[in-house]
């Protein structure tokens, strides 16, 4: 009977239940549990299994630049990274409150790593997240408009609870990219959260977006209801390379 039950669980892809029931049978634990306790064990195991699979799926689909966690962040005093602020962000309330985060700082100061860490934390909490390099994303959207698939791509972006636009402003926006950016920001404004990382201070974003009226509309929606993080200090990559060189001496 137990073998048939295990086979049926596997066929129905009740993998958490299958593992828990097999373990209880092999250890004879099922003989010590009441019917209610066994039911609770099986349900809890299946819930955990599906929850963990969902996290793995959302993390994979997000396509983060780094495998980063908030526990790995370096709060060195010269970096301008506030540990209390990060801990508040780690609870995910900024996503449920549809707030944005702007992370600025010189190259190598850890902007992408921080954004990836917050994104992975959001995945752990069950949010749908998409990480995208801004330059590549708008190049892809331009090609999508040419072949008619842009509406589908923009709809996918709109559905994400958290969108991470990394390396924003590396290249000036042309008319097509500017229109796509406005559409993305307009779709998400007040309904979803966006994290933007950039080497440029916010006061220079008008110039890189171009066309003052459109830039005003975009920045008004981005900056409203936004938390800012400005990273400082020397390049972490240079710091790491120097440390590696010293260790090899």
pTM of the model as a whole: 0.79
Residues 199 and 89 grouped into a single domain: yes
The answer on 119 and 45 residing in a single domain is: no
Contact, 208 vs 82, CB < 8 A?
no
Q: What is the mean pLDDT of residues 10-26?
A: 86
Q: Per-residue pLDDT averaged across 155-163, rounded?
A: 95
Q: Are 133 and 155 found together in one domain?
A: yes
pLDDT of res. 225: 84
Q: For 8, list phi and psi in degrees, rounded to 5.
A: -65, -40
Q: Of 33, 60, 87, at which residue does a domain stop?
A: 60
Query: How would residue 248 be classed by pLDDT, with cut points 50, 70 and 90?
Result: very low
Residues 198 and 177 in one domain: yes
Q: Are 145 and 219 part of one and the same domain? A: yes
**129 domain residue, yes or no:** yes
**pLDDT, tens digit, 9 for 90 and up, residues 226-238:** 999 999 877 766 6
How many CA atoms lie within 13 Å of 45's alpha carbon, on the beta-carbon side? Answer: 19
Same domain, 201 and 226: yes
What is the predicted pLDDT for the residue at 30? 62
The answer to whether residues 117 and 208 belong to one domain is yes
CA gap 41, 233 in Å, rounded:
51
- Shared domain for 156 and 206, answered yes or no, is yes
Q: Is 248 contained in some domain? A: no
Q: Using the 3D structure, point to which of 17, 40, 60 is the last residue of a domain.
A: 60
- The band of 156, judged by pLDDT with boundaries at 50, 70 and 90, is very high
Tell me, yes or no, whether 53 and 67 share the same domain.
no
Q: Domain residues for 29? A: 2-60
**210 plus 109 within the same structural domain:** yes
Q: Are residues 73 and 41 in the same domain?
A: no
Indicate whether 124 and 139 sit together in one domain. Answer: yes
Does residue 246 form part of some domain?
A: no
Q: For the chain, how many structural domains are there in total? A: 2
Bridge partners of residue 102, in order along the sequence: 196, 228
Residue 116 belongs to domain with CATH number: 3.40.50.300
**Is 185 inside a domain boundary?**
yes
pLDDT of residue 239: 59
Closest CA to 98 of 185, 184, 190: 190
DSSP string, the chain: -HHHHHHHHHHTT-HHHHHHHHHHHHTTGGGGS-HHHHHHHHHHHHHHHHHHHHHHHHHHHHT-SS---GGG----GGG---HHHHHHHHT-HHHHTT-EEEEEESTTSSHHHHHHHHHHHHHHTT--EEEEEHHHHHHHHHHHHHHT-HHHHHHHHHH-SEEEEESTTSS---HHHHHHHHHHHHHHTTTSEEEEEESS-GGGHHHHH-SHHHHHHHHHHHHTTEEEEEE-SS-HHHHHHHHHHHHH-
Q: What is the dihedral of CA 102, 186, 168, 178, to 10 degrees?
A: -150
How confident is the prediction for the chain on average, in pLDDT? 88
């Amino acid at each position: 009977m137990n073998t048939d039950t295990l086979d049926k669980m596997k066929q129905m892809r009740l993998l958490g239940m299958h593992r828990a029931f097999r373990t209880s049978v092999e250890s004879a634990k099922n003989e010590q549990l009441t019917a209610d306790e066994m039911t609770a064990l099986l349900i809890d195991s299946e819930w955990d299994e599906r929850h963990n699979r969902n996290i793995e799926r959302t993390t994979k689909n997000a396509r983060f630049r780094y495998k980063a966690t908030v526990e790995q962040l370096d709060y060195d005093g010269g970096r301008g990274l506030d540990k209390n602020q990060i801990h508040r962000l780690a609870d995910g309330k900024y996503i449920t409150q549809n707030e944005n985060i702007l992370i600025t700082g010189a190259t190598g100061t850890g902007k992408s790593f921080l954004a990836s860490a917050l994104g992975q934390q959001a995945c752990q909490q069950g949010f749908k997240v998409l990480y995208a390099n801004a330059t590549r994303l708008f190049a892809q959207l331009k090609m999508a408009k040419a072949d008619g698939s842009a509406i589908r791509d923009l709809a996918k972006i709109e559905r994400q609870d958290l969108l991470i636009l990394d390396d924003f402003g590396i290249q000036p926006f042309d008319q097509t990219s500017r229109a796509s950016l406005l559409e993305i920001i307009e779709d998400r404004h007040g309904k979803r959260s966006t994290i933007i990382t950039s080497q440029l201070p916010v006061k220079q974003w008008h110039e890189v977006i171009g066309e003052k009226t459109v830039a005003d509309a975009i920045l008004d929606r981005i900056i409203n209801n936004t938390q800012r993080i400005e990273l400082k200090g020397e390049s972490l990559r240079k710091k790491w390379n120097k440390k590696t060189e010293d260790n090899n001496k």
